[in-house]
Structure 1
């Protein structure tokens, strides 16, 4: 990787880390001050929407090869998250106060305040081993919570409002299906797509942490038995 690309990736990931740290702090302060999960979207919904929109750059990073990630999993994760927060939650005020939205935002924020600092420090070769381990281990708990307890229930609860308000009716008018039908299809496919991404992340974990273990073994002094 060239020096310029490394500096750019460090700046991008550091900016995302700062943004998600602010979002996490806002979530915690809102819950602690109100003793309620209702204000999650009001506190940081717009910020998270902006952060998710800007994360489209990660698709381009993969596409042009400045990071080793595969394009399709990155695109799937980015598309799913951005669609959830920008196309559904931001458009339906009745859904914004659901506990599922708070659960989603909290799991995303916790994941990203680990992931982005690890990426940033890794580009300048200053990432501690414990942070790499945490990056490739925290998702085991956070990813199912965010997707299965947060995103899916929130989308399901949004269905009656999507149908009642005919959301994006004009955009889907010339298509043989409505936006409501599209979301129903997404919910049916979601567990299978989620599982595919989840398994891919386990492969990444094995690859990254396995290499780290092999490097440690290689650095150990060899004891010669005579």
Structure 2
């Protein structure tokens, strides 16, 4: 077994970041484990609309905590880009606080057949998509950060592989699910006024270049990490 490189004594800032990442890891682990159990169970029972009631509140507040990550990047506490961090966090905040908070009927309201009124079962499927993609991504990401900051600079190869490869699948799932939820919200949003309706339409247009920027950013990070590992091999 290879010797691990232990961390040096942490500064107050490092201790704060370790605590922050550990809390986020715990919260996202709870959401993800519950989602992996509830999604097949509720869909099999023909009650996928109950997924929102079971997990939305927990998801909403857990995701809201991520606003701190924009502060971390802007203040230089982490090396992440404030721009890409803000783009990623803002899109999720829009989904939970505008789309799902204001228009829960796109996922939870059902007709006599047990199907979502707004688009058959597409609402519950899209909600299950963000739970799966966001949850898996964050458990891996925060797990990686906690290991590297609190345990050892040498992160297990399997965890590193997951951190820099699963986005190839998880990003498309998450982004397409977010777009679907916004699309389903256009109808009820238009009935409440043009402001929210126009906001969602504008964001949907921005998603194309925005998704490309985030995707290529992750690819660049992956190349950088793998190149560094190749040199150290």
TM-score by length of 1: 0.85
Residues 1:92 and 2:103 are matched in the alignment: yes
Counterpart for residue 128 of structure 1: 156
For residues 121 and 57 of structure 1, what CA distance do their matches in structure 2 show?
20
Q: Is 1:43 the counterpart of 2:54 in the alignment? A: yes
Match of 2:167 among 118, 139, 143: 139
- Do structure 1's residue 160 and structure 2's residue 176 form an aligned pair? no
Structure ranking higher on relative contact order (CA contacts 8 Å, 6+ apart):
2
Change (3 A) 1:215 1:125: farther
Structure number with larger C-alpha Rg? 1
Task: Confirm or deny that 1:181 pairs with 2:198.
Answer: yes
Structure 1 spans left out of the alignment, 5+ residues: 167-176, 217-226
Question: Does the Cα contact within 8 Å between 2:133 and 2:173 map onto a contact in 1?
Answer: yes
The Cα of 1:92 is off from its aligned counterpart by 0.9
1:113 aligns with 2:121: no
2:229 alignment counterpart: 212
8 A Cα contact 2:64 2:93, kept in partner: yes
Give secondary structure in 1 for the equivalent of 2:48. Answer: coil
Superposition RMSD in Å: 1.7
Higher mean displacement: 40-49 or 29-38: 29-38
SS of residue paired to 2:165: coil
- Alpha-carbon displacement from aligned partner over 1:25-64 (angstroms, at most 9, x marks no partner): 2212222432253222212111111111111111111112
Higher alpha-carbon deviation: 155-164 or 178-187: 178-187
CA distance in 2, matches of 1:106, 1:43: 14
**Secondary structure of the structure 2 residue equivalent to 1:69:** coil
In the alignment, structure 1 residue 80 sits paired with structure 2 residue 87 = no
After superposition, the C-alpha distances for 1:148-179 in whole angstroms (9 at most, x for unaligned) are 2x01111001100001133xxxxxxxxxx622
- Asked if structure 1 preserves the Cα contact closer than 8 Å seen for 2:99 and 2:181, the reply is no
d(CA) in 2 for partners of 1:119 and 1:54?
16
From 177, 193, 212, give the equivalent of 2:210.
Answer: 193
2:112 aligned residue: none
Structure 2 residues without counterparts, runs of 5 or longer: 1-7, 109-122
